[in-house]
Amino acid sequence: MEIVLHAGAHCTDVDRLVKCLLKNKDLFLQKGIAVPGPSRYRKLLRDTVKAMIKDAPADGARDILLDQIVEQDGATRVLLSDENFFCVPKLAVSGGLLYPRAEQRLTDLAELFGSDHLTLCLGIRNPATYLPALFAESPHDDFLTFLDGTDPALLRWSELIARIRAAHPEIEITVWCNEDTPLIWGSIIREVAGLEHGTKIIGGFDLLADIMSKEGMQRFRAYLHAHPVMTERQKRRVIAAFLDKFAIEDEIEEELDLPGWDEAYVDMLSERYDEDVFEIERIPDVHFIAV
């Protein structure tokens, strides 16, 4: 069995991925791909993993769990999504690290599904916007308390992914930038599902519709109809061109209001994020979905 876990990150797709996967549930099932509803597994999987802190899983725990999660017979790939699998937002940043519990959570998951092939999928986000959004999701009132000694300028996604890669060389890792999702959404869905490039899916332009005007989407779809044969790279260039003209500015611009976070500081964080993404692309055995 192939077990695919999309573990967020927090404040990235806001469950859009799992909703898009569910739109394709019937289509995917024909290919042996199961897309259970989140209510069937999120709490169950987290509770099972937490229980493993004290005791090893009982014999047959894996089969019992999958029977409760997967309704259909014959599935060979199961798609799961839970941004809180590593932890809740208030614990996502601590002591200079992103998701300090990630390796242990994956260790428990690997022990539970020891005979299965595991894939971790992760969307990352510029700390300049990620940290304020994550702070807003936490119960903290003070940003410095929330950061728990973390210097935002030193925070690196590449450090998290390198930790996971070192601790779990057997787990397949796929990463993408949240900022790129409108351009690569269809590729992300196909990658998570394990489909070949160009496979028809439902909702491949859902995120684009959120940030492009109605007129722009109508013209974009008309263009696709007039040019039915395009590579993914060509489609991305077309999307970028339409966004340049028809993007809804309020949907793509974010206001930041944190003490000391002036324009120069945000620009610095953004530049370091770009460098960090470059480092991720160089980590061995990590698949990065680029624009």
- Note the pLDDT of residue 182: 92
CB 76, CB 111: distance < 8 Å:
no
Enumerate residues 6+ apart whose C-beta is below 8 A from 291.
Answer: 180, 183, 184, 236
- Note the pLDDT of residue 280: 98
Distance CA 58, CA 97 (A): 32
- Domain boundaries, given as residue ranges, for the chain: 2-212+247-289
CB 10, CB 83: distance < 8 Å:
yes
Enter the DSSP assignment of 89. Answer: G
- Note the pLDDT of residue 50: 84
266 falls in which pLDDT band (50, 70, 90)? very high
Stretch 142-164: mean pLDDT, rounded?
Answer: 96
What confidence tens digit (pLDDT) does each residue in 176-224 have?
A: 999 999 999 999 999 999 999 889 999 999 889 889 999 999 999 999 9
In 3D, which of 29, 47, 157, 32 has the Cα closest to residue 93?
Answer: 157
Whether the predicted pLDDT of 252 surpasses 80: no
List of E strands, the chain:
2-6, 33-34, 77-81, 93-94, 97-98, 117-124, 172-177, 286-289
Q: Model-level pTM?
A: 0.93
- Note the pLDDT of residue 251: 62
Whether the predicted pLDDT of 253 surpasses 80: no
Residue 81 phi/psi, 5-degree rounding, is -145, 125
What confidence tens digit (pLDDT) does each residue in 44-53 have?
A: 999 898 888 7
Give the CATH class of 2-212+247-289: alpha beta
Q: Average pLDDT of the chain?
A: 93
